[in-house]
Structure 1
Amino acid sequence: MARFICGADRHQVTLLPNRLDDYVSEDNPVRVVDLFVDELDLTALGFASMMPAATGRPGYHPATLLKLYLYGYVNQVTSSRRLEREAGRNVELMWLTGRLAPDFKTIADFRRDNGPAIQAASRQFVVLCRQLGLLAGGVVALDGSRFKAVNTRDRNFTPAAVRRRIEQIEASIARYLAALDTADRQEDEVAHVRKVRIAERLDALRTRMRELQAMESLVEAAPDRQISLTDPDARAMATRGKGTGMVGYNVQAVVDTEHHLIVAHEVTNVGHDRTQLAHMSRQGQVATGHEALSVLADRGYFSGEEIL
């Protein structure tokens, strides 16, 4: 190991600081998260479980879980399982939560059960930024980002997708019928076994055909003629590549151009941005407090009606 930078001996005894606070610098952003949450009125914002039950196993305080969630948001750690791992090995999170490490199910349930309250807390942060003069530019940028949903493409149905799958099943049925005719002209035992197997597959295909025909009626009756089974709010969205559409959401975000802070956002299930310009601009106007607001957007938002 000569001429290389050598690390410390793993068996060397050292005197580490006794306080966890000594590991977090004074200008660390995690201190902002801690101070911000401590100053919030979580009851007024609508967070659940603020009054714990007198019996049963004690739970985590909503402030602790909110700090954990916000830390993950700031550091792009969105998975509840990753947050669970980070809480057990990340010194900043140990300092933030007091060495508490909730399991991923607790984190996920908190995020699911307190969606409106988390949005209200986000609005309070925007108000704080406005009071500190961080949103004083009067110029914002608007754009949409597509996020993939849990719903797969096979569990999403549109009129074109249903027709395409019915055609595929009809072609498969025709092939199996031809194979069944061939097996009928053969008399050996192998042909008999093959004929039974083909007949079973034909029954499965006919059952699938009936399911698709029923789904076709449901799709035609749907308001936007689209149904997602796993995630009902998710919608199929076209992408630039041919045949590479995804099922997910279109997240609209209004960002202050000076400090790059998100001042307003909204999750939609519309695949394009043409109907979002006026609506999101008004949200940015309310969030920044500027009556005269300049909004920058790309040509995907071009719509004469929206501009008017």
Structure 2
Amino acid sequence: MNVPPFKESPIEANQHLLFPSNLFDLLADDHDCFLYEELFKQIDTTAVEQQYSHLGQRAYHPRLIVSLLIYAYSHGVFSSRDIQRRCQQDLAFMYIAQMQCPDFRVLSDFRKNNITFFHDCFRQTVRLALELKLASLGHISLDPA
């Protein structure tokens, strides 16, 4: 009998599961995206929400865009195209974006059109993190451009 010297994989890569599983269970329980999500739930976005019209195509919620931008910035990702790519490939980014993938133009335009609001949300997030003793204030800076 000719037996191969390695174990055969019991898992078929293209096999469908009988019961759907939660994709985000693959993230560690202590992954930072869960902590960020809790912080982002507390951000006040009412000021920018009033700028949106009920007419036309439905827009991404401002909280989602701001959350995604802040999460990306805090992980050293600043390019809108890179953020879009991460939303398609990185499980933590998918979690923060709620499995939605805003186009890089949407991210860039939101950032340009709401820069004061974005800075305010960033301040809110830092303030909340400090209050909850989740961060210590070392050196944080934003480029105004």
Question: Under a length normalisation based on structure 1, what TM-score does the superposition of the two structures give?
Answer: 0.39
Partners of 2:10 and 2:101 lie apart in 1 by 30
Q: Which residue of 2 aligns with 1:89?
A: 89
Partners of 2:42 and 2:26 lie apart in 1 by 23
Partners of 2:99 and 2:80 lie apart in 1 by 17
Partners of 2:143 and 2:72 lie apart in 1 by 19
Q: Partner amino acid for 1:82?
A: D
Cα distance change, pair 116–4 in 1 and its aligned pair in 2 (3 A): farther
Question: Under a length normalisation based on structure 2, what TM-score does the superposition of the two structures give?
Answer: 0.76
Unaligned runs of 5+ in 2: none
Given that residues 66 and 121 in structure 2 are in contact (C-alpha distance below 8 angstroms), is that contact kept between their aligned partners in structure 1? no
More strand by share: 1
Q: Which residue of 2 aligns with 1:79?
A: 79
RMSD of aligned residue pairs (Cα, Å): 3.0
Question: Aligned-pair distance for 1:51?
Answer: 4.9
Question: Aligned-pair distance for 1:131?
Answer: 2.4
Q: Which residue of 1 aligns with 2:127?
A: 127
Give the alignment partner of residue 43 of structure 2, picking from 40, 45, 50: 40
Given that residues 80 and 107 in structure 1 are in contact (C-alpha distance below 8 angstroms), is that contact kept between their aligned partners in structure 2? yes
Q: Within the alignment, does 1:18 sit opposite 2:21 as a pair? A: yes
Cα distance change, pair 15–25 in 1 and its aligned pair in 2 (3 A): farther
Map residues 203-242 of structure 1 onto 2, 5 A cutoff: none
Q: Which residue of 1 aligns with 2:141?
A: 265
Once the two structures are superposed, residues 217-247 of structure 1 have per-residue CA deviations (whole angstroms, 9 ceiling, x without a partner) of: xxxxxxxxxxxxxxxxxxxxxxxxxxxxxxx
Given that residues 83 and 104 in structure 2 are in contact (C-alpha distance below 8 angstroms), is that contact kept between their aligned partners in structure 1? yes
Cα distance change, pair 96–266 in 1 and its aligned pair in 2 (3 A): closer
Partners of 1:4 and 1:62 lie apart in 2 by 50
Partners of 1:40 and 1:28 lie apart in 2 by 20
Unaligned runs of 5+ in 1: 136-254, 257-261, 269-308
- Tell me which moved more, 64-73 or 8-17: 8-17
Cα distance change, pair 266–34 in 1 and its aligned pair in 2 (3 A): closer
Q: Which residue of 1 aligns with 2:69?
A: 69
Q: Which residue of 2 aligns with 1:116?
A: 116
Q: Partner amino acid for 2:120?
A: A
Question: Aligned-pair distance for 1:105?
Answer: 0.3
Given that residues 72 and 83 in structure 2 are in contact (C-alpha distance below 8 angstroms), is that contact kept between their aligned partners in structure 1? yes
Identity value in percent: 24
Given that residues 84 and 102 in structure 1 are in contact (C-alpha distance below 8 angstroms), is that contact kept between their aligned partners in structure 2? yes
Question: Aligned-pair distance for 1:21?
Answer: 4.0
Partners of 1:114 and 1:34 lie apart in 2 by 21
Partners of 2:110 and 2:8 lie apart in 1 by 45
Aligned residues: 140
Cα distance change, pair 126–11 in 1 and its aligned pair in 2 (3 A): closer
Higher RCO, Cα 8 Å, sep 6+: 2
Q: Partner amino acid for 1:105?
A: R
Question: Aligned-pair distance for 1:29?
Answer: 0.7
